[in-house]
Structure 1
Amino acid sequence: MKFIYIALLLTVMIAYSSAAVSCKGPNEIHWRCKPCGENCGDRKDIICAATCKGPEGCYCKPRYQRKNGICVPQSEC
C-alpha cells in the first residue's frame, strides 16, 4: 500500500514541476514544440503541416507573433 502512495506522490510532483515552467516575456507561454508563424515576418500564405516544427520552449501565445524579440498582437506586425 505504501508503494501506491509513493508512486502517486512522485507522479503528482513530476506533473507539477513540468507544469511550472514559466516564460520571462509578456504574452509568452511554454510549448512542447515551436509553433508555425512565430515571427512577424513569417509568411501566412503557407500552410504549416508539421505537428512539431522545433524544440520545446517559450513561444508567443496564439494570435501573437515575435517582433524585435517581444510577442506582440498580430495586428502590430
Structure 2
Amino acid sequence: MRRSVIGMMILLSLSKITGLLRTMVLSRTYGAGAVSDVFFASVMIPGVFLGIVLAGINTCLVPVLTMAERDGEKDAFFNRF
C-alpha cells in the first residue's frame, strides 16, 4: 500500500507541474486578452460537464460494482450490460 501511495503522490505532482507549464506556455503565447479568455472558456466548459458526469458515475456505479463483487455476482452484473 505504501508503494501505491508514493506512486500516486508522484503522478499527482507530475500532473500539477505539467499543468503549470501548460498555463505558462499559453499565457506567454496568447497573453491576457480576448483570445486567451475564449480558449480557457472553451476548455473549461466541457471540463465542467465531464466532471459532473464522472461524479455521477463514481457516486452510482462504484458502490453497485463493489456490492456485486462482494456478493460474487460480478460476472452477472457485467453480462447485463
Same fold (TM over 0.5): no
Structure with more of its chain in strand, by fraction: 1
TM-score grouping bracket, smaller chain normalisation? 0.3 to 0.5
TM score, norm. by length of structure 1: 0.35
User: Which of structures 1 and 2 has the bigger CA Rg?
Assistant: 2
TM score, norm. by length of structure 2: 0.34
Structure with more of its chain in helix, by fraction: 2
